[in-house]
Amino acid sequence: MNIPIWTGISTFAAGQTPFGFYDSQQDFKTDANKVADFCARRLGYPLADVELQSGSFFTAFEEAVTTYGNELYAYKVRENYLSLEGSNSLIESNEKIITPNMAGIVRISEQYGVEAGVGGNVTWYSGSLKLKNGVQDYDMTSWAEASASLNAGDSIEVKRIFYEISPAMSRYFDPYAGTGTGMMNMLDSFGWGNYSPAINFMLMPINYDLQTIQAIEFNDQIRKSQYTFELINNKLRIFPIPNYNDMGGTIDQSLHFQYIKKSERQNPYTNGINKVTNVAEVPFTNPNYDNINSIGRQWIFEYTLALCKEMLGYIRGKYSSIPIPDSSVTLNQSDLISAATSEKTSLIERLRGYFDETSRDKLLERRANENDFLQKELNKVPYTIYIG
């Protein structure tokens, strides 16, 4: 079969690339013929035949653009994934400025809020337990099985129990009112004793109120049975032992508490419908070649050439030599493949290094260094003395 090789002339048209990603983009159509001519000349044409067709050059050109876009957007994902995870996966990201946000960090830290009881992503439920006269110990697991609507194998963890004596402040007289602590005598000393005996207008210092509240609490702690509880392995022990007969049945016989379902805390999944859940779902598409600047295009031209060298090397590797009258011609298959492999690796490393140097942390570091050097330079400027 006599298959034609490169003739030095190509005319690009839509459909001549395997995927057609960029066939409709004007700059790609314009550059395709130029790239084919560039690569052919770099491979030795017209002094040597190049066993490639125009479609081979176009294929390499399309792959080079796609590789450039892949490296570019992989860098963008690495740089911003903490802000992108959980965002809308239907909004294309190519032409968007990605603003860093705290959503990912807050989502990570929500687990601490759950345990501290200050927020988080696990629901706290409310429950109440009927206290029994003379019964001190209660099994919260048994309560949960009967009242918490649990799934099979699930259990609860009690987070907060409301079993405290009423606060001292609620049992403390209004500091503006006479409390029988000697303030009336102080009022008499100022000549205010003829005012209404129920109310005084003497504002006491705040430390007086704090000491009075503390005195009430110490009184409860020393002279009364203190209200408290002990919770170990969902076994609740109440202090003091409920005894409503002695107290005339006047106190609330229900114990209120808050709890979580362990299955909800152990569930790591969040609804991911139309959300970015992994790096493969970040909505980047192939780049628009028309928007790639000269820096990117030069890299693409060089990578296209490396791909063409690789293709030509595999083609020439079909025969190690070609016989001619009285001699033979040895082909340079190994040299082409070796050079192509080295150039592709070098170009990828160069591109990644370029992207890393433009990362957010590197730019901020460079700006900080510039500010330091600028300050050192300004320190050498003589100070002007103003006389006003």
300 touches 72 (CB < 8 A): no
pLDDT exceeds cutoff 60 at 251 = no
C-beta atoms surrounding 288 within 10 Å:
15
156 touches 249 (CB < 8 A): no
259 touches 148 (CB < 8 A): yes
pLDDT exceeds cutoff 50 at 52 = yes
**Percentage of the chain lying above the pLDDT 90 cut:** 54
Average pLDDT for 291-302: 97
Which secondary-structure segment (H or E) carries 260?
A: strand 254-261
Measured between alpha carbons, how far is 56 from 326 in angstroms, rounded to an integer?
A: 33
Asked whether the whole model's pTM tops 0.75, one would answer no
pLDDT score recorded for residue 173? 59
> Pairing state of beta strands 137-139 and 235-239?
antiparallel
> Closest by alpha carbon to 25, among 285, 311, 309, 306?
285
Q: Residue 320 corresponds to which tokens in the numbers above?
A: 């190690």
pLDDT score recorded for residue 176? 47
pLDDT tens, residue by residue, 328-343: 556 788 899 999 999 9
pLDDT score recorded for residue 331? 72
pLDDT score recorded for residue 177? 47
- What phi and psi values does residue 275 have, to the nearest 5 degrees? -120, 150
Q: Residue 347 corresponds to which tokens in the numbers above?
A: 């170009």
Least confidently predicted of 26-30, 72-76, 195-199? 195-199
37 touches 28 (CB < 8 A): no
pLDDT tens, residue by residue, 262-282: 999 988 888 888 999 999 999
Domain boundaries, the chain: 26-99+277-379, 120-265
pLDDT score recorded for residue 178? 45
pLDDT score recorded for residue 223? 75
Q: In the structure, what pLDDT confidence band is assigned to residue 358 with cuts at 50, 70 and 90?
A: very high
Average pLDDT for 204-230: 81
15 touches 59 (CB < 8 A): no
Provide the residue type at 339 as one letter. Answer: A
pLDDT tens, residue by residue, 136-195: 999 999 999 999 889 888 999 999 998 877 777 776 654 444 444 455 555 555 566 555
* CA within 13 Å, CB half, 215: 8
Looking at every residue in the chain, the average pLDDT score rounds to 86
309 touches 343 (CB < 8 A): yes
pLDDT exceeds cutoff 90 at 217 = no
pLDDT exceeds cutoff 80 at 113 = yes
Measured between alpha carbons, how far is 240 from 246 in angstroms, rounded to an integer?
A: 12
Torsion of Cα atoms, 14 then 15 then 18 then 20, to 10°: 40
pLDDT score recorded for residue 359? 93
- What phi and psi values does residue 166 have, to the nearest 5 degrees? -60, 145
pLDDT exceeds cutoff 90 at 42 = yes
